[in-house]
Structure 1
Amino acid sequence: MASPGTFSDEPLSPAGRLFLQPKTELVMHCIARTKNPIDIDAAKATVMASLMGQHPRFCSLLVRDDNGSEHWRRTQLDIDRHVIVFNNRLDKSGRFIDETETQAFSFNEEEEEMAVNQYVADLSVSSPLSTDKPLWELHLLMAHKCVVFRIHHALGDGISMMSMLMATCRRASDENALPLMVPEKTGESKGKRRRRFWFWFWLLGALWEFLKMAWFTLVYVMGFSLRVCLVCDRKTVISGGDGVELWPRKMVTAKFLLQDMKTVKKAIPNTTINDVLFGVVSSGLSRYLDHRTPNALREGLRMTGVAMVNLRSKPGLQEISKLMEDNSEARWGNRFGVILLPVFYDKAGNDPLKCLKRAKTMVDRKKSSLEAYFSYRIGDLVMRLLGSKYACLLNYRLLCNTTFTISNLIGPLEEITLSGNPISSIKVTTSSLPQAITMHMLSYAGRAEMQILVAKDIIPDPEFLAKCFEDALLEMKVAAIGGK
């Protein structure tokens, strides 16, 4: 690789500059548990030989010129500075313990997960990435057979991160093949074929769709602007606020079967997995609030979520090999917009699918609008005209005025390996935000695991919150089967 100075500096993108501001600085974490002990040398060699070890963003330092403008500067990658090895075990509080203490602890699978989750929860608050090396790290928790990728959000968004990480892995069924992220043969959905049919052959239908898009875009963009400037969710026992991103965190995992989500999905025509997830979150939060503050909230109380939407021309994870091409449709970097997804407090009733029906209606309207696109363009415009400090202020206010953040990524369809070592689970999360709760779901080989990161002084019992989400899906599944 070329030595420093061979390449000219490249300025950061507007989104990259935003994620370097103190109140909006984010680090993405990907937790991969392996079935066999980790081979350190093999892991290093795999990373260096993959796109991660060659991509310009992963081989560049963050530098600032005399005017304070940020740039990427290519440098020699020293893999030993990025791979950090921990040999000692963690206890359930995320603290490393001496070998002499290990015998005093019993470690079952659940406690192993608790220990790793708390380790990452602590990283999400108190451990920024050092700027004297490219902004990523690989933590190897040897005693737990766990790999934690830490990647600064200035390098790229969740789609970019997952694509890059998957470039480092291979299919368990074929060590020469990249992970399968979407079915190899996909057809258009009936809904999409129907929309195209009406577009081309029924101009009246096209006009109606256009009018719906214009109306919903106007309504939601105005609502988005008001949410940034003036409107705030009513305070509840799960509300965060200014400064909460610095509070101690705790993280738990809610576990779902994709087949259960697909069963629920079939109960209502044209429903998606995202609709089901949003319905589960809506129902689960209502259950949790009933537990914490029984009979204290009015029916229909609104709690607003912030959701990320991929704006690339191709949905889902992109073709990994094309991420390094400048003219690729895949587009490396931060290419996402934001939409606001309201959920409403609903006391337990006779229809477990009520939250799903309401979620689907809302998400369908959001899909008919250009809210995500406008949020991206507005943020980009503010960044270019007023600078990163004002863009940071607006984004921070949006987070303070809402209740939670949620994202969902499609992971590998089948089991994968890292350096030939089978991976048993993959989970993702980010640094803490001023909201008291953030949720990030990733599917893998028939399962879906949602990392729930909470401010533990506000939500002291996140394990119960995770169970509320799991129970909500199971109740919906029973209702879906019973309704057939």
Structure 2
Amino acid sequence: MGIHNDEPLSPAGRLFVQPATQQIINCVLGLEQPLGYDAVLTVISDSLLIMHPRFSSLLITDNQGREFWRKIEVDVRRHVILRPDPVGEGENDDDEAAVNAYIADLTVSSPLKTNKPLWEVHLLPAHKSVVMRVHHALGDGVSLMSLILTQFRKLGDPTQTPTIEPLTLKKGRELGKMEKIVKVLKMIWFTLIYVTEFLLRGLWVSDGKTVVRGGEGVEMWPRKLVTAKFSLQDMKTVKSAVNDATINDVLFGVISSGLSKYLDYRSPESLREGLQLTGVALVNLRPSPGLQDIKELMKKNAGVGWGNKIGVMLLPVYYHKRSQSDPLEYLKRAKTMIDRKKLSMEAFLSHQIGYFVMRYFGPKIASLLNYRVICNTSFTISNVVGPREEITIAGIPVTYMRTTSSSLSHAITMHMVSYAGKADLQILVAKDLIPDPEMLAKCFEDALIEMKECAVHISNMRKIDSNFI
């Protein structure tokens, strides 16, 4: 360290730079018109992004294998990459398909160079798109989203930065003494079950073999990327049909129903009712900074409190045949399971276990534990809340905002981002295992439509009943 005043990586940051668990976030913006190279340089140079220590530091590894951040002067031109020609797999690709193909290639074979800070901006003017690549070691998805959005402005008010809808917890009624005791006992019980399962997943327990199951080495297989498109209003309509449900509950109900539909399509003969497929979800364990919080943080010391404080939840879904009559059953089951997960300390203790292994056994063993958990499960899922209103960058309106990450040993990796009333789910697949991801995306979209129709029917029946009363 010495005269450089280097700063060590956080435990999660060290995990994300290990070869087996290396993660880069790829965020893509669709635009109404191409964004110019000089305009991008100006936006980045004038933003909080370039001032942040993580975005202006090199990743340094010392002789003992310890990783540090070392502050340097940033040359923005080294980070902005212009791809003037069309990209994609074929001449007939539309813009979205071409950009998805471009990102799919990046997720497997394009690490970020360590001779500059670990971020890049790729300009794709032929497709009116921008791809921003940020190493996960720089921060968690929620914080990075908040920081990146400081470069944008509201479409209706160019003087204002975007707003992100805060995650608010509903206040329930005051519990009685006995109810509090029962709640604590449930928390202990669920924690014991889920933490034990997490540890076993890191050792030998795995999902059964299915057509959507990956495994060791699959992270290096060629990828394909498609988008499932949802209306946020449709998700809210479905949410209202089940008491105290959340958008995350709806998303997981859609995933559960959609996977059952897809498995029915691909291999109905070989599946048993109730077959478990386990998802891995990363959980942010600290308060999410808003845009104003980040500005204040930059004025003081942006390195304080930054980084990754992330836990893991294992989220099981179960295969059910399409003959099931009530689509909302998938949501009800998802809500019950997620409520139990929230009540437990699984996410917190998974973080503590990782920290303990990192500290006493080193990053290689910690990385191996996480890698085994991924190899023994079936898919990754995340949901990041984006801007509520339409936004612009350099005066150009943004038409969509999506994200995905580096390929994992899962055959399916899913990331949803909401933006201006829309919710886009990026589905990254190992195309040798899932050759038709467009069908998988349609299964998810159809699942939400079925749930919405059921929710609307229930709402109409309630109105009829109230009129009779």
Q: What TM-score comes out, normalization by structure 2 length?
A: 0.94
| 2:455 counterpart letter in structure 1 | A
Would you say 1:115 and 2:98 are equivalent positions? yes
Separation in 2, partners of 1:91, 1:378 = 42
SS at match of 1:128: coil
Alpha-carbon spacing, 1:316–1:281, altered in 2? closer, same or farther (3 Å): farther
Would you say 1:10 and 2:14 are equivalent positions? no
Whether contact under 8 Å (1:159, 1:317) holds in the other structure is no
Alpha-carbon spacing, 1:386–1:428, altered in 2? closer, same or farther (3 Å): same
| 2:269 counterpart letter in structure 1 | N
Look up the match of 2:369.
394
Following superposition, which runs of at least 4 residues in structure 1 exceed 6 angstroms of deviation?
315-318, 325-330
| Alignment map for 1:27-426 (pairs within 5 Å) | 27-93=24-90, 105=91, 111-182=94-165, 192-195=170-173, 197-198=174-175, 202-314=176-288, 319-324=293-298, 331-348=305-322, 349-426=324-401
Look up the match of 2:462.
none
SS at match of 2:21: coil
Give the counterpart of 1:468 among 423, 435, 443.
443
Alpha-carbon spacing, 1:325–1:391, altered in 2? closer, same or farther (3 Å): farther
For residues 62-118 of structure 1, the C-alpha deviation after alignment (integer angstroms, 9 at most, x for no partner) is 11222221111111100010000111112445xxxxxxxxxxx456xxx21110000
For residues 379-421 of structure 1, the C-alpha deviation after alignment (integer angstroms, 9 at most, x for no partner) is 0110011000000100000000000000001100000111221
Separation in 1, partners of 2:200, 2:447 = 32
Whether contact under 8 Å (2:218, 2:430) holds in the other structure is yes
Separation in 2, partners of 1:24, 1:39 = 34
Superposition deviation, residue 374 in structure 1: 0.4
| 1:228 counterpart letter in structure 2 | G
Whether contact under 8 Å (1:5, 1:74) holds in the other structure is no
| 1:116 counterpart letter in structure 2 | V
SS at match of 1:270: coil
C-alpha RMSD of the superposition: 2.0
Aligned length: 458
Q: What TM-score comes out, normalization by structure 1 length?
A: 0.91
Separation in 2, partners of 1:232, 1:330 = 38
Look up the match of 1:98.
none
| 1:331 counterpart letter in structure 2 | G
| 2:411 counterpart letter in structure 1 | A
| 1:357 counterpart letter in structure 2 | K
Whether contact under 8 Å (2:143, 2:288) holds in the other structure is no
Whether contact under 8 Å (2:150, 2:291) holds in the other structure is no
For residues 168-213 of structure 1, the C-alpha deviation after alignment (integer angstroms, 9 at most, x for no partner) is 1111111121111016xx9x66xx3224x32xxx333322222221
Unaligned runs of 5+ in 2: 460-469
Alpha-carbon spacing, 1:329–1:14, altered in 2? closer, same or farther (3 Å): closer
Look up the match of 1:443.
418
Separation in 2, partners of 1:23, 1:46 = 34
Separation in 2, partners of 1:78, 1:182 = 34
| 2:56 counterpart letter in structure 1 | C
SS at match of 1:252: strand
Would you say 1:23 and 2:6 are equivalent positions? no
| 2:379 counterpart letter in structure 1 | F
For residues 302-322 of structure 1, the C-alpha deviation after alignment (integer angstroms, 9 at most, x for no partner) is 000001111113588883324
| 1:376 counterpart letter in structure 2 | H
| 1:413 counterpart letter in structure 2 | R
